[in-house]
Structure 1
Amino acid sequence: MCNPPFFSSEHETDSMKKSKRRRSEPSSAPTGALSETVTEGGEVAFISQMIDESLLLKDKIRIFTSMIGTKANIKAAKEKLKSVNPSHMSVVEFCQGRTMRWGLAWTYDANYNLENVLSKKQMADAKPLVLMFPRSLMTVYTVQAAWTMVNKWLHQLKVRD
């Protein structure tokens, strides 16, 4: 798992602050040292190197992940990743207040299907699970009676919580 340096220069970190002038001051202060926030080529170069290195470790590590701090960099990171032909990959959106980040995950193991990983937004768009109870199965048709029936079935199926 990786949280890469987001910027290619110290100047870029300053320009990002200036581009958000209309926003109020952040409620938290950045605490990363320059060596943690800046790298030559920025986050795309850093993630690209990580992708190249993942080829060397693909038999030892099942899932590789990296955060992406700038939406514009997602496309380049995905293109780089496609060039090494992983078995599965996924991009998930994270939202914390006004801060958006993206998670990139990939694996070379065909047994780990990462395409099923959904972001909160994707889950909200998913259709809900609907379970219809025939009246013949229940003497009383209430939420509590339905919950009791579901618990009974789960217990019979030996499903643990």
Structure 2
Amino acid sequence: MTSNYDDKVMIDMDNLTTEVAEFKAEKISQDGSKPDFKPVDPKELVNGKIQTRKIRIPANRFTPLKNNWMKVYTPIVEHLKLQIRMNPRAKIVEIRTCKDTEDPSSIQKAADFVRAFSLGFDIDDAAALLRLEELYIESFEI
């Protein structure tokens, strides 16, 4: 049984090879040794999507968080240009990006900052996570 579909699908090999050659020519650098890609804008990395992080605050650290809220709030909003809110009923701090956020990695820095404070770090010590690059926090229970 022969179908009409086989007759309708035709690929011109000459046209296909010229398109592939043109594509390869666009992506090869001047010296021909490696591909040449344009730099990616940080806004393109997240594709315009809003990222959100939720950090649970233990009951013993919730009162210190409320007392130091402005010290937590200010660097996150003013320097990292993120949005932050505290949900007292669920004991959660929510952080999200907005259109003003410049660095896509800033949401992870802010989440590490709040998590360090919730683990018992002093507010000034936890702020070092915001200032220094490639500084992370890891904890474990004994």
Same fold (TM over 0.5): no
Q: TM-score, normalised by structure 1?
A: 0.22
Q: TM-score, normalised by structure 2?
A: 0.23
